[in-house]
Structures are given as C-alpha cells and as structure tokens.
C-alpha cells in the first residue's frame, strides 16, 4: 500500500450516486486529490447478489490500488459497504477505509415524533449489516424501512440525454409509490418527520422529495459524516496532503466501466466538472453476469 500523502483518495460506487459523497469529500478535504470510479457497467448493485457485489468490490479496490496508488478508499455505496466492507478490511488491514451506511443514528438525534423513514436499495435493507444497525436503535424510535427497487437505476438513466425525460417521469412515479407506502409524513404525533436517504443516489432527488413531503420533513444523508471520518482517519495516519493546493487546482479523475457520456453529464450537472476529467476504464474490470 502507498505511504505517500500526496497520492489520491479512491472513491467508488456502482454508478453516479457516490458523486454526492465525492462532493462532500472535496469540501471537507480541499487539498486532496481524488480518483472516482463508477461501476456503471454493473449498476445498480442493489438488486444483485452479495457474492457478485463482493467480486466487484475487490476487483475495483485492487484496480485503484494497483493502477492509481490510492492512499485511502471510500466505498461510497451502501450496498457494497453492507455486502463486502468486512472482507475488504481483512484483505487490506493497513488501508484507511471508509464505508457508508444509512444514517439511522443521526436521524434519531433530529426526529421529534420518533417516527423515521428509511429509503434504501433491497440489497442494503436485506443485509446482515443493516439488520445489526437497525437492531441497535429500533428500541429508540419507530423505523419505517422501504426497499426502493428501480430508483437508483432511474437516477442513473436521468443523466443520459436520450433517456432523461422518461427516467424523470419514472423517478417521480417511484418516489410517490414508495413514500405513500411508508405512511404519513409531517410533524404531528405518529407522522414520519425524518427520512433517511440510505442510498447515495437518492441525494440527487432531494428536490423531488421536498416537493412530495413538504419543508417540515428532515432529509438525512451520509456524505458529510463520511467526509469527516475520512479526514479523521487520514489525520491519525499522518496521511493528509501537505501541499496546500485548493481542490479546484488538483487533478481530478472520474472513471467509468460503463457509459462515458452518462458520467460526463452527471459530473457536469452535480459537480461542475468538465467532460475531460472523465474517462472509460479498460475491460479488465468486467465480470461475468451475476
């Protein structure tokens, strides 16, 4: 593993959702370099097997370590964290490693009605890791957990010009279906007043959720806590970049195993990054179908 503080931090997700975490990382760590990998050829992970997700997670970690000499890795995908981060820690014990999980504990601190909604992929909500997390807090509030099949994929497709309109219509329909299934939202007793966005993709439909749920419902995501934890781990390991160069001037690489145009559109739309920072990665990252 690299010991050079000037080497980049690796970040990966099944697709573009992890860009929401990258956004928070750039704000928290303005002097660091980043390389982001979107495994769009295999997205979304949420409805695939745990064994397949584990294979992808290990292949991507090995690629980022071997080809880009990353000094830390942020698994910016709830599903991959739930399925494989324990194995990744065992395989790379010296690597500063940060995963994401639904922000149930931060939601508890915010909720007044003690009714909390959780939206996540089926892979996340069915995982042992999520079951342990929920079990640790479920005596403190009522949690309404909703698996949101198809939502991450629709958000991915919304960045593609030829699919954007249809994808946005599907996003609207899915959000209506899933929020209605969860129950009543609001600030009155018995209503859900806090909603956990348990997939990094869902941050990009916050505006749509606001329109559905109103201004009184608090939306909780994981980007900022993950960024703070990454900063703490790097500081403890004395691996923060000593060069005080602003992120805007630092090299930024965004990679995809899938549609380059989709990643370019997402990077421009949500991070304000030019197309030239994006590139497709070689087929060596391909796996057999799950």
Of 126, 148, 199, 278, which is the active-site residue? 199
- The confidence score (pLDDT) of residue 246 equals 56
Question: Based on the structure, what is the number of domains in the chain?
Answer: 2
77 tagged catalytic: yes
Which burial class, exposed, middle or buried, applies to 277 when counting CB atoms under 10 A from its CB (0-12, 13-18, 19+)? middle
Sheet with 115-120: strands ordered across: 142-147, 115-120, 194-197, 218-220
Positions in the chain whose pLDDT score sits under 50: 288-289
Q: What CATH number is given to the structural domain containing 111?
A: 3.40.50.1860
Q: What is the pLDDT of residues 3-33, one digit of tens each?
A: 789 999 999 999 999 999 999 999 999 999 9
Q: For residue 237, what are its two tokens?
A: 């390991």
pLDDT computed for residue 43 by the predictor: 84
pTM listed for this prediction? 0.90
Q: Are strands 9-13 and 34-38 parallel, antiparallel or unpaired?
A: parallel
109 & 86 share domain: no
199 flagged as catalytic: yes
Q: Are 129 and 171 within one domain?
A: yes
181 and 120 assigned to the same domain = yes
Quick one: which of 29, 38, 39 has its CA closest to 71? 29
Encode pLDDT of 36-71 as tens digits: 999 999 888 888 899 999 999 999 999 999 999 999
List all residues 6 or more positions away from 36 whose beta carbon is below 8 Å from its beta carbon.
Answer: 10, 11, 12, 13, 18, 19, 22, 252, 253, 254, 255
In a domain, 168, yes or no: yes
């Amino acid at each position: 593993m690299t010991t050079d503080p000037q080497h980049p931090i690796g970040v990966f997700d099944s697709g573009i959702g992890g860009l929401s975490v990258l956004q928070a990382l750039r704000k928290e760590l303005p002097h660091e370099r980043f390389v982001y990998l979107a495994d769009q050829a295999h997205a979304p992970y949420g409805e695939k097997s745990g064994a397949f997700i584990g294979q992808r997670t290990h292949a991507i970690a090995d690629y980022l370590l071997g080809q880009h000499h990353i000094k830390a890795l942020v698994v910016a995908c709830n599903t991959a964290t739930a399925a494989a981060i324990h194995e990744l820690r065992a395989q790379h014990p010296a690597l500063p490693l940060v995963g994401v999980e639904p922000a149930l504990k931060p939601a508890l601190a915010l909720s007044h009605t003690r009714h909390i909604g959780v939206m996540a992929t089926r892979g996340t909500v069915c995982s042992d890791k999520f079951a342990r997390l929920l079990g640790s807090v479920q005596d403190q509030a009522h949690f309404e957990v909703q698996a949101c099949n198809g939502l991450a994929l629709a958000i991915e497709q919304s960045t593609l010009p030829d699919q954007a309109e249809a994808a946005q219509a599907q996003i609207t329909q899915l959000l209506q279906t899933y929020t209605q299934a969860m129950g009543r939202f609001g600030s009155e007793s018995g209503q859900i007043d806090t909603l956990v966005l348990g997939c990094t993709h869902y941050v990009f439909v916050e505006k749509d959720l606001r329109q559905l749920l109103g201004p009184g419902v608090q939306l909780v995501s994981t980007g900022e806590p993950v960024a703070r934890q990454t900063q703490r781990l790097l500081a403890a390991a004395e691996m923060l970049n000593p060069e005080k160069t602003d992120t805007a001037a630092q090299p930024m690489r965004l990679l995809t195993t899938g549609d380059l145009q989709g990643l370019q559109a997402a990077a421009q739309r949500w991070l304000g990054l030019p197309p030239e920072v994006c590139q497709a990665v070689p087929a060596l990252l391909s796996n057999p179908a799950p």
